[in-house]
Structure 1
Amino acid sequence: MTTSSPYGPFAGRPVIALLASVALMLAAANLRGGLVVVGPLVMEIRAALDISASAFSMLTTLPLLCFGIMSICVPWLTRRWAPQWLSIVGLMVISLGVGLRLVDNYALVILGTLLLGSAIAVLNVLIPGLVKAFFPHRVGLMTGLYSVTLSAGAGLGVYLAIPLLEQFDNWRVPVAMWAVFPLLCILFWLPMIRVKGVGRPANPIRVSLWRDKLAWSITFYMGLQSFYFYSMATWLPKILLESGLNAHEAGTATALINLVSIPFNLLVPIFAAKMTNQRLLVLGTFVVSFTGIAGVWWQPTAAPLLWASLIGVGCGSALSLALSFFVLRASNTAQATALSAMAQSIGYLLAAFGPVSLGLMRDINGHWQWALVLLLALQVGQLIAGWYAARPLNVTPDQDRKHSRQR
């Protein structure tokens, strides 16, 4: 994927630029809703499928594994097909995957979950590269809007689930919404096929970053922030409940994680794009995240809303910074896609162990203290990785490094 103009392919074409913005944001809105909508409907879905709690947990664990496995394949796909076509196919597969999760057959539900997770993984990797290709002079703003839309889609999936269930007395209605929505979004992507300068290159070159230290620092930053977010999203309600809060208080605190992150999803990438290096943002993110976890470890019932808000600010800022690094540390769209693929592949595989590891530590020790200490230690590791990633450098592909040594 290449862009001929420093202002992108839409220079002097505000209407098509607006359409491209809408297409990107609509794609982002589909990347979490179809996954998280099943959470509030757990009892209804388990009853319909007649499955255990552990069997149901596969519906949330498998997508993370798909993120890790499929992400690494995306650069290979972009060397064979234009990213616009891959985005359209990805939206179609999301629709199919969600549709299969509506049937009363657990095997087909699992197949749908695998398709859904794989399609989301492809779009997860593609969108940062498309942001750089479509809007190279507005990467901060567009990355911020992408991050906000990603969080908003997740929030909408959870928020609408119970009202739609109560309105129609059928759990399939809120789930089916996320099968129809991607198909409508494809209408905005069809004009993108004709955009010149963004597509499969005539002589595609494989970009490998596996020997680049900067790429690995971004990968670890992405992985540790994902480990942190999915661990907190999974276990914070139970931690607060076991500490003495009632279900309403624990639910309200947990909801704040997504709510308070939204403005930081938008603002952090904008500030990051204007900075020579992003170390101040990395440090600030560490301080609020560490304080939030430390508060839960020290006295969870003292100020649960404050602790949850700090955790949410840290999660939102860290995700936005990771997404920003994909674009800011790459010289071109191919590098941005390769970096996004590497970081999300390793990152989500690491994140998949987060909830499992903390749950296992809770079962072994009978309390959450050591699990929270682990999160505090990993925050230090995330700070170190982010500190290195925030330097004003670009990643160096392995092939460029080899040519430099030969000279």
Structure 2
Amino acid sequence: MHHPIKGPFDGRPLIFSLAVAAILLAAANLRGGIVVVGPLVEDIKQGLGLNASVFSMLTTLPLICFGVISAIVPALTRRVTPPILVLGALLVIALGAGLRVVPVLFVILCGTLALGCGIALLNVLIPGLVKGYFPRQTGIMTGLYSVTLSFGAGLGTYLAIPMRDAFADWRAPMLLWALLPLICLLPWLYLLRVHVHTYQPKRTGVPLWKNPLAWAITGYMGLQSTCFYSLATWLPLMLFDAGLDDHYAGTLTSLINLFAIPANLLTPIVAARMRDQRLLVLAIAALAITSLTGLLLAPALAPLLWVGLIGISGGAALSLVLTLFALRSENTTQAMSLSAMAQSVGYLIAATGPFVIGALYDLNKSWLIPLLLLLLLQLAQGALGVVAGRPGTLTSWGEGKT
């Protein structure tokens, strides 16, 4: 759906640039603080005396927060302006990441909950802000947002082992993610002074929970997140078990996010120009299935290739579903409500991923069954994507016009 309407910053290049920077700096905090634990899995498990199932809570708890908090964001935006909510979210992320360096499991879990709550707020707010602030540039802004999100995740994974070694402490890379949000606050403080009227706090006009298109997008969101967080948590150990050293396994896992960047940027631009996105869905599914099959059959044979395919398919899937929030909705309120539903239910689905994969591995110390499960989920994700990729909007589907 094309947007001929003017954006609130059109004709104001300085404020426009500041708003772009504000969105991207907020997005840089959305993954790093969570995925940083992946390469540090052995250090944290030994340091705190955890097994794989308990360790997976460090990834699972934020996802549960994403699911619970996402559902209440639309109601919050009717009472508090989005820039103030973004500021609050960044402060909560800093607090949560700071608590995770205290070497007491209970405090770390409290910090993990706070981190998850802050990120959940931004997860829902940013797609709505992109549609409201940049109605003419939805594709490119979604692409840049996705790139920054992946870059932050890649930085979190890549710096984990070098920072641990430099400071001889696994908590050092964790602390980085408490400091970054405080720097990213600055442009939002200025945006508070800029009057922007973008929100229409009206009803969406469509009962989303009864809408098959909304459910297809929600399912696609949930399954792509399940695969991403499962692999972000366990891929370093998978590669380590295949005979790679921990530095190389950690570096390869961080490359997922590097490979995701071109897919993040190009997918929304391509998707926004297509009326029907089903071909894109099938191409993404084919790459993901190839990568997981490679990890299953010959993980040490071409690990860079498997990681590259995981990155490209995962980056494209995330960018596609974020773009669908805008393409399948008819106004900002509808986009934010769809974003809230898809992320609420989707992340509750995803929250089971790292835990189930860890538990299956604990049972027989093999990656065979976990990888077969991830392959099955990719097939289900592709099927839901075929439904979500069909032309139409929430309103037209709600009227029975498919």
What TM-score do the two structures reach when normalised by structure 2? Answer: 0.89
Counterparts of residues 234-253 of structure 1 (less than 5 Å):
234-245=233-244, 247=246, 250-253=249-252
Show the counterpart of 1:287: 286
Q: 1:356 to 1:56 in 2, by over 3 A?
A: closer
- Establish whether residue 384 from structure 1 lines up as the match of residue 383 from structure 2: yes
- Establish whether residue 197 from structure 1 lines up as the match of residue 192 from structure 2: no
Counterparts of residues 250-329 of structure 1 (less than 5 Å):
250-329=249-328
Shift of 1:232: 2.3
Encode CA deviations 1:148-194: one digit per residue, 9 max, x unaligned: 10011111122233434444455554333322221222220123222
Q: Percent identity?
A: 54
Q: Distance in 2 between matches of 1:105 and 1:244?
A: 32
Shift of 1:24: 0.2
Shift of 1:239: 3.5
SS of equivalent residue, structure 2 residue 63: helix
Which AA in structure 1 matches 2:144? L
Q: Distance in 2 between matches of 1:273 and 1:347?
A: 22
Q: Distance in 2 between matches of 1:300 and 1:37?
A: 22
Counterparts of residues 7-406 of structure 1 (less than 5 Å):
7-41=6-40, 50-53=48-51, 55-193=54-192, 194-199=194-199, 201=200, 204-205=202-203, 208-245=207-244, 247=246, 250-364=249-363, 367-396=366-395
SS of equivalent residue, structure 1 residue 396: helix
Between 68-77 and 161-170, report the one with greater CA deviation: 161-170
Between 159-168 and 177-186, report the one with greater CA deviation: 159-168
Encode CA deviations 1:46-79: one digit per residue, 9 max, x unaligned: 677x443455443222111111111111111112
Shift of 1:314: 1.0
Q: 1:206 to 1:89 in 2, by over 3 A?
A: farther
Encode CA deviations 1:293-350: one digit per residue, 9 max, x unaligned: 1222333333232222112211111111111111111111111111111111111111
Unpaired stretches in structure 2, ≥5 consecutive residues:
none
Asked whether the equivalents of residues 154 and 255 of structure 2 are also in contact (C-alpha less than 8 Å), the reply is no
Which AA in structure 1 matches 2:67? G
Asked whether the equivalents of residues 9 and 195 of structure 1 are also in contact (C-alpha less than 8 Å), the reply is no
Asked whether the equivalents of residues 144 and 268 of structure 1 are also in contact (C-alpha less than 8 Å), the reply is yes
SS of equivalent residue, structure 2 residue 395: coil
Q: Distance in 2 between matches of 1:167 and 1:367?
A: 32
Between 204-213 and 257-266, report the one with greater CA deviation: 204-213
Q: Distance in 1 between matches of 2:161 and 2:238?
A: 24
What TM-score do the two structures reach when normalised by structure 1? Answer: 0.88
Shift of 1:358: 3.0
Asked whether the equivalents of residues 32 and 154 of structure 1 are also in contact (C-alpha less than 8 Å), the reply is yes
Between 141-150 and 386-395, report the one with greater CA deviation: 386-395
Aligned length: 396
Q: Distance in 2 between matches of 1:307 and 1:43?
A: 23
Asked whether the equivalents of residues 212 and 397 of structure 1 are also in contact (C-alpha less than 8 Å), the reply is no
Shift of 1:264: 0.7
Shift of 1:33: 2.0
Unpaired stretches in structure 1, ≥5 consecutive residues:
none
